[in-house]
Amino acid sequence: MPKMNDLTKRIRSNPFVRNFSSVKIPQDKREVKLSVPIKPVDQRLPPKVLESVMSILVSVQWDRWRFMLPAKPLLKLDVAVVSHGHADHWHPNFWKKDVVVMPDEAIAPAQYGGLRNIVRVGGSPVSFGPIRMVNLNATAIASVVGQFVPKPHANWWLVGTRNAGILFVGDVNIADLATMRHFLKLCPSFDYHVEAVLLPSYGRVRTHGAGEPAALAREIASVADELRRTHGVLIGALPHPICAGWSDFNAAVA
């Protein structure tokens, strides 16, 4: 057996990194067959890029979630980035953050109205050390895909360094999934590097445009599979409220 390098060892022994080849959707127990067997994450990106992706993931709190990965944080600041104003995505630890970054157009839930550490971001990106955050609303997404898009459930964020980029989608309506497929196809022509996509993992959700309880969970599983196959991205799951079977990395509530 070949000797594993340090990064591989750290990754394979981490319970928040998964290896799998098919996914059972909770509630209806139907299996979503993944179209191709999934290689372990350390075989899919060059070690340097993978380290960068993991370092970005651990440097920021994503809505109310954090990633517990074996990587070095890039910031001395304690930063959260928020996708939208729905209270179930906010966390009481926002009161202790150095900075809470939120979209200009989002409205903070009433119980967080007194937060003074908020940085509102509109069309211009904001940077913290080596990490740059680009806020994408419907207009910004439409300008990438070149056509009208329905207003997404939440604003999207592109969060990255010189070496790697992450697309953070904190919450979706069913209609956003088509937009996301289209968007990722066009990212390279806009010089957006996307090595990982963060998606919410749902349980029995009837809202968000889903007709029947398991529809959204199933749709997300197949989108995750498709994005991984066609764009080679890593997929991180934000348990909303259940953990995902389809992700490479699982977050935990902060």
Angle, vertex CA 145, rays to CA 142 and CA 147, nearest 5:
60
Window of 24-32, 78-86, 134-142, 180-188 that interacts with Zn ion by CB under 5 A? 78-86
CA 179 – CA 149 distance, rounded (Å): 7
Site for Zn ion in 34-73 (CB under 5 A): none
Contact call for residue 176 and Zn ion (CB under 5 A): no
Contact call for residue 171 and Zn ion (CB under 5 A): yes
Window of 93-101, 141-149, 169-177, 195-203 that interacts with Zn ion by CB under 5 A? 169-177
10 Å Cβ neighbour count for 120? 14
Contact call for residue 86 and Zn ion (CB under 5 A): yes
Q: Supply the minimum distance, in Å, between the C-beta of residue 187 and Zn ion.
A: 24
Q: Supply the minimum distance, in Å, between the C-beta of residue 86 and Zn ion.
A: 4
Instruction: Output 176 or 248, the one with its CB closest to Zn ion.
Output: 176
Size of the site for Zn ion (CB under 5 A): 2
Instruction: Output 87 or 178, the one with its CB closest to Zn ion.
Output: 87
Contact call for residue 24 and Zn ion (CB under 5 A): no
CA 44 – CA 41 distance, rounded (Å): 5
CA 60 – CA 238 distance, rounded (Å): 13
Instruction: Output 12 or 86, the one with its CB closest to Zn ion.
Output: 86
Contact call for residue 219 and Zn ion (CB under 5 A): no
Window of 19-27, 30-38, 168-176, 242-250 that interacts with Zn ion by CB under 5 A? 168-176
Instruction: Output 171 or 248, the one with its CB closest to Zn ion.
Output: 171
Buried/exposed 194-209: b ≥16 CB within 10 Å, e otherwise: bbbbbbbbbbebeebb
Residues recorded for the chain: 254
Q: Supply the minimum distance, in Å, between the C-beta of residue 124 and Zn ion.
A: 25
Instruction: Output 169 or 235, the one with its CB closest to Zn ion.
Output: 169
DSSP SS3 for 3? coil
- 75: buried, middle or exposed (CB in 10 Å: 19+, 13-18, 0-12)? middle
Instruction: Output 17 or 172, the one with its CB closest to Zn ion.
Output: 172
Residues whose CB is less than 8 angstroms from the CB of residue 152 and which lie 6 or more positions away in sequence, other chains included: 137, 138, 141, 169, 172, 173, 176, 179
Q: Give one word for 232, left, alpha or beta, with left for phi > 0 and alpha for psi -120 to 50.
A: left
Contact call for residue 225 and Zn ion (CB under 5 A): no
Contact residues for Zn ion (CB under 5 A)? 86, 171
